[in-house]
Amino acid sequence: LINALFNRKIAKVSATPGKTRLVNFFNVDDKFYFVDLPGYGYAAVSKKERNQWQKMMNAYFNSRDNLNLVILLVDSRHKPTNLDFLMKEYLEALEIPYIVVGTKLDKLNQSEKAKAKKVIKETLELDDNVPIILTSAKEKINLDKVMSEILNAVSI
């Protein structure tokens, strides 16, 4: 998604989920930083490593006064997980602005696409003011909407 959003290869991509192990900062045209954090859902890692990620993410979120927006990624093909819900609750507790981006829209058929947004909204118990954007990095669907949210958040 990062590479598709910025239309250049800045992030390493793997077919295996959970390869991001550190906080990765991407300087975008010397205007703002886009930060990639470790995923928490489908990564096959030990409980010890997952706990280290939690500490790292807590430190990150609690030390960033200039954090303008978090993009909460969920897989459009599946109902959001309990971990997705907990992350949403965590962001709200810290009063961090966020949007929800559903990925892999290209892998859904027409009827699944129609239901995906509703399932995400209901499962995560989202207020109407929280944007939900279903995307496909592969087919470049709705990337402009995500970028618009990013740019609005960083006031460019």
pLDDT in tens, 48-60: 877 787 888 888 8
| Position 43 pLDDT exceeds 60 | no
Does residue 42 surpass a pLDDT of 60?
no
pLDDT in tens, 31-40: 999 998 877 6
pLDDT at 112 over 90: yes
Question: Predicted confidence band at 11 (pLDDT cuts at 50, 70, 90)?
Answer: low
Position 47: which residue type? K
**70 or 13, greater pLDDT:** 70
The most confident of the ranges 23-27, 61-65, 91-95 is 91-95
What are the tokens at 76?
Answer: 């459009």
What whole-number percentage of the chain has pLDDT above 90? 58
Amino acid letter, 2: I
Structural domains of the chain, with CATH: 2-154 (3.40.50.300)
**121, pLDDT greater than 90:** yes
Residue identified by tokens 């096959």 is 44
Percent of the chain with pLDDT over 70: 88
CB 107 within 8 A of CB 79: no
Q: Which DSSP symbol is given to 79?
A: P
Choice between 112 and 9, residue whose per-residue pLDDT is larger: 112
pLDDT at 139 over 90: yes
Mean pLDDT of 83-101: 94
In the beta sheet, which residues pair with residue 99? 71
Give the pLDDT score at 23. Answer: 81
